[in-house]
Structure 1
Amino acid sequence: MSSSTRVLGFILLSLLGGLLAGMPAPARAQWTVTGVDVPDLAAFDQQMQQLMTTRNTPSGAIAVAWQGRLVLARGYSWNPGPDDIVTQPDSLFRIASCSKPITSTLVNRLIQDGHLAPDDTIGQYVDLTPRPGTTADPRLATVTVRNLLEMLGGFGDPATLGYDPVFRDTAVAQGLGIALPVSHADVIRYQSGVALVAAPGTTYHYSNYGYKLLGRVIEAASGQSYERYAQRMLNRIGVWNLRLARARREERAPGEVAYRSGGQGPSVIDATGVLRPWEYGGSINQDTMDAYGGWVASAPELLRWMTNLDAPQAPNAILDQASLDRMFALPQNYPLPYTPGSYYYASGWAVRDYGAQGRTTFHAGSLPSTASYVVRYRNGFEIVILLNRRNENNPDDTSNAMDAAVWAAYGQVTRWPSHDLFAQVLPTILRDGFD
């Protein structure tokens, strides 16, 4: 090699080295944790890291209470994409069906205040006139508020119907001869012309549609929108950021995580028919899910609401003891005798009742790019887990993994902290009454 060739080679290598030095480093896996580190509860951090990294979940949050005190509040980020935020303990997430226990809380407050009765028929509050050319099932007139709360309305579920009534926007629009998007009233008018699959009060079918109806019952009984009534009730206990999710990507709330399911479907939030991501208006419309799957919330604020249910004698208690007993009571169709600890679905909560040893109540939520889980354990341990990713091929797999992570971490705790992080994480403004 000549000296001139060696010089030229050195110059080229130098230039290449300079260019590489100015380029960003190759992307590497990033794991970020925010919030107060609590060494006694490190097992929850470890379980969340395993849960999220093995499932490629960009954002997660956890809030843990012990004996009414917030002892852990953490935000987790894994390999964030361009739309993702650095997750904070109070970041907002869609919570899917964990909205149902909130709806039950609101209905039971209206019963407590004398604005509703459990045996009121829903036709007293909701227009159930069927669409032209169809006839209402005569049994529809007998469906009660309690039937809806306990999933005993007779409406069926996807396993029995082959579809979920609340996710048939295109069929509803075509059946009514209207353009998308459809409203709550449109879905109810359409579905009121469909026969029930069981006599009300007899057969459990998990029913999003029944909780859609409860949202309308709340509006009629309170004289306010579902969202407004809920916010007024929860503001009084220091929950300020609860809001209904919006369907469009650009309408995410400040501090809300991003969603990426990977799936697409025809738009149901407008009449264009264009393909949209499932989570942003493709095949499902988050704008109309309110009472059965519509809330956006932070983990600590959900925990604030859950711990409020532990103190029915408190001045700002949402529900008194009689209302709590009603909300967690055995459903109308439960075959007696009841074996303590057996599972049942009460009014918006899954329950295991151990009698003098207390009740465990819980609920899971799942929608495209959303997974949530809330638990009130019988000994004063309570937890909220929120994720912005699920297994789209097997959503139950994600829910089961969240449950396993909760109890794996709980089993490793040998000492519970004495601190209370509620004042540090959440606003301290409380209200004794409505504004």
Structure 2
Amino acid sequence: MSTTSPASPTSRVDALMQDYAGHGPGASVLVVRDGEAIVQRSYGFADLEANTPVTPQTNYRLASVSKQFTAAAILLLARDGKLSIDDPVRRWLPSLPASDDAITIRHLLTHTSGLIDYEDLMDPADTSQIHDSGVLALLAKESKHYFAPGTSYRYSNSGYALLSLIVERASGQRYADFLHARIFAPLGMRDTVAYEDGISTVAHRAFGYTFEDGRWQRTDQSTTSAVLGDGGIYSSIVDLQKWDAALYDERLLPRAMWTQAWTPATKTDEADVEYGFGWRITGETVWHSGETVGFRNVIVRWPQRHLTVVVLTNRNDPEPYAMAKQIGALFLDGSAVDASANGDVVSHAR
């Protein structure tokens, strides 16, 4: 009687990601367990026009996955004694109106500031890209709030744009330079960059696409794509493995400060989700998604189990959080074969 061997972990991941294979916008998948990349997969194309396939080195615009780096920059400056998380925001950004007196850096980190969304303050007739400084200029003219600071939660890109400016004021460095000097370079994240058109470049760049009128059309940039603090970082699964490793030790920050980032500070508008500093918390996971024109990304970490799943995509749909949890389940429920035992450690698909 014949028997069928159980599918390997990599083939099971491939089955979940089959819609990204072929000649369309692609995806990168990373599964890290105990510091080792046990699955590292590449699907589809980073640049359809140039027929450039996705590889593990492909860099995607992280969108709001960037917020964890902005939060880490603030924590680094707090550790350095350059600022306090409970500083009033107007100490660093005095052009904000007096109505913002009660807002602190902590409120910005946890989306509890009540600041108006800068996207709703932009002139819809202006097609030029706004930058972090432009966000400040818009908010400097706005005295209204959604709620009193600290009394509720509303996800706020405005707050993270302001945090990037606070990093600059407190450090004396440009935000992109601070991240490179204090996070990316020390961790060997060689190709990760807070991208600024005309100033920096993105190596091995993935371009974003949206399926419209029966075909994939490039939709790589919008009027908000140049804002750095809320979503302007590009990275790859190769570099994010290095980032994940640093979250387990004290190369960047003391353990107590990392713990603060992952400690629930507020409930959110989702019943099972709380928020720390740049991270969402659900049960035993800390995670964050990122959505912007042409990109959908997520990082999900099970820190007590030393397991992390990263899914990066350069297409507008679908949102990959549920898929990342499905991939994680392959390695949490005991059904996945130990990758080191079957030799199926790292491979790539198109």
Cα gap change, 1:181 to 1:76, in 2 (>3 Å): closer
**1:146 and 2:106 equivalent?**
yes
Letter in 1 for 2:33: W
Paired residues in the alignment total: 330
Letter in 2 for 1:242: T
SS at 2:147's partner residue? coil
Match of 1:187 among 113, 135, 139: 135
The alpha carbon displacement at 1:112 in A equals: 1.4
SS at 1:279's partner residue? coil
Cα gap change, 1:382 to 1:171, in 2 (>3 Å): same
Match of 1:214 among 139, 153, 163: 163
Match of 1:46 among 1, 10, 15: 15
Q: Is the CA contact (8 Å cut-off) linking 1:137 and 1:196 kept in structure 2?
A: no
Match of 2:249 among 301, 304, 311: 311
Cα gap change, 1:64 to 1:346, in 2 (>3 Å): same
Letter in 2 for 1:330: P
Cα gap change, 1:209 to 1:226, in 2 (>3 Å): same
Q: Is the CA contact (8 Å cut-off) linking 1:65 and 1:383 kept in structure 2?
A: yes
2:4 aligns with none
The alpha carbon displacement at 1:148 in A equals: 0.5
Q: Is the CA contact (8 Å cut-off) linking 1:60 and 1:386 kept in structure 2?
A: yes
2:238 aligns with 300
Q: How does 1:229-308 map to 2 (within 5 A)?
A: 229-233=178-182, 234-245=184-195, 253-261=202-210, 278-281=219-222, 284-287=223-226, 289-308=227-246
The alpha carbon displacement at 1:259 in A equals: 2.0
Q: How does 1:69-80 map to 2 (within 5 A)?
A: 69-77=36-44
In proportion to residue count, which structure has more helix?
1
Q: Tell me the C-alpha RMSD between the 2 structures.
A: 3.4
1:105 aligns with 72
Match of 2:285 among 360, 384, 392: 360
Unaligned runs of 5+ residues in structure 1 are: 1-37, 130-135, 157-163, 174-178, 265-275, 336-340, 354-358, 392-396, 423-435
Q: TM-score, normalised by structure 1?
A: 0.68
How far, CA to CA, are the matches of 1:404 and 1:84 in structure 2? 30
The alpha carbon displacement at 1:115 in A equals: 1.3
The alpha carbon displacement at 1:93 in A equals: 0.9
CA deviation string 1:311-342 (max 9, x = no partner)? 23xxxx111111112212231x559xxxxx95
Q: TM-score, normalised by structure 2?
A: 0.83
SS at 2:187's partner residue? coil
**1:417 and 2:343 equivalent?**
no
Q: Is the CA contact (8 Å cut-off) linking 2:132 and 2:164 kept in structure 1?
A: no
CA deviation string 1:152-203 (max 9, x = no partner)? 11125xxxxxxx4146543596xxxxx9454433321222332011111111
How far, CA to CA, are the matches of 1:261 and 1:103 in structure 2? 27
Q: Is the CA contact (8 Å cut-off) linking 1:62 and 1:74 kept in structure 2?
A: yes
1:197 aligns with 146
CA deviation string 1:402-423 (max 9, x = no partner)? 335424543541324389x89x
Match of 1:122 among 89, 96, 100: 89
2:327 aligns with 406
Which structure ranks higher in relative contact order (CA pairs < 8 Å, sequence separation ≥ 6)?
Answer: 2
Larger of the two Rg values belongs to structure: 1
Unaligned runs of 5+ residues in structure 2 are: 1-6
2:29 aligns with 62
How far, CA to CA, are the matches of 1:245 and 1:83 in structure 2? 21
Cα gap change, 1:86 to 1:364, in 2 (>3 Å): same
How far, CA to CA, are the matches of 2:286 and 2:321 in structure 1? 16
The alpha carbon displacement at 1:229 in A equals: 0.6
